[in-house]
Amino acid sequence: MLNHASEVAIKIPKTRFQSREESQLANEMRLFRHIRHSNIVLFHGATLMVINDGSPCLSLVLEWVNGGNFGEYMQQLRSNAAFEADGHAFAYKILLDVARGMTYLHKLTPVILHLDLKPANILVEKSVPPKGKITDFGLSRFARNSLPQPKVGTEKYMAPEVARRKPYGPAADVFSFGRVIIWTMTGELCPELVSSTSPKGQEDACLFQTLDEVASSCLEEEPHMRPHFFQVYDRLTTPPPTTTTKIVPPLTTTPTTPTTTPPPTTTTKIVL
């Protein structure tokens, strides 16, 4: 019996035919055993749950994050005009948290690739300042080989080498992060809109300058021209220079073996 109530999230298959989704959940469980970081949703364990009087199915017990995903968070900020006040700094802080979490994943041995980095897979904990946490590792894999690989992830945030079913590695996650930055700055996935975005105040202008530079480096067409995540994180924590600079790209990339895009799952809040 627990002395204190603990809120957790239970991630369960959404559809009646659950074998494929359970496979994705099993993959998440396998990877979560190697992951523990403050900017990644905490894995408490796994359990079997009966859904709609069916057979018991695998479910993950995860940290309950008091807030929505990054997409919902930004939509709320923009709709109530808060984005022009503290919103820019808060959004920057969340991106910094994501870069910190991804740096951790890419420094593990072996490297863990997320492969589906997007606003919907970033949770935002309600606090001041807010805290970003990476979630949904259903497509994630260890980076181990350089064989041609099937397309995986979300099309709009997908690196070109992934879309073309070429070998890919950590640089694919970096590209996805660049797309997340562009979406954060403009509300769209169109880099051309960055130049037409005019933040108010010198501090916001500096934040936008840094984000623009980081996004440009992350979105390089060739994977070997993109920076490592630790370089992205370092740049985001460094005050913007007086002149535009480009992040030095890595010398090599490490490819991995992917899987296919999973069907959706649902997360339910439960109090223990």
Over residues 159-197, the pLDDT tens digits come to 999 999 898 999 999 999 999 999 998 888 776 666 556
Distances (CA, A) of 10 to 2, 43, 47, 272: 18, 10, 9, 11
Higher per-residue pLDDT: 272 or 65: 65
> Residue 267: beta bridge partners?
11
Judge whether 116 and 155 are in contact, CB under 8 Å: no
pLDDT at 243 over 80: no
Where residue 272 falls among pLDDT bands split at 50, 70, 90?
Answer: very low
| Mean pLDDT of all residues in 63-89 | 82
Range from 7-16, 56-65, 171-180 carrying the lowest mean pLDDT: 7-16
Is the pLDDT at 130 greater than 90? The verdict is yes
For residue 64, pLDDT over 50 is answered with: yes
Q: What is the pLDDT of residue 44?
A: 93
Contact 200, 232 (CB under 8 A): no
- State residue 232 phi and psi, 5-degree precision: -60, -45
| Domain annotation for the chain: domains and CATH numbers | 8-63 (3.30.200.20), 68-237 (1.10.510.10)
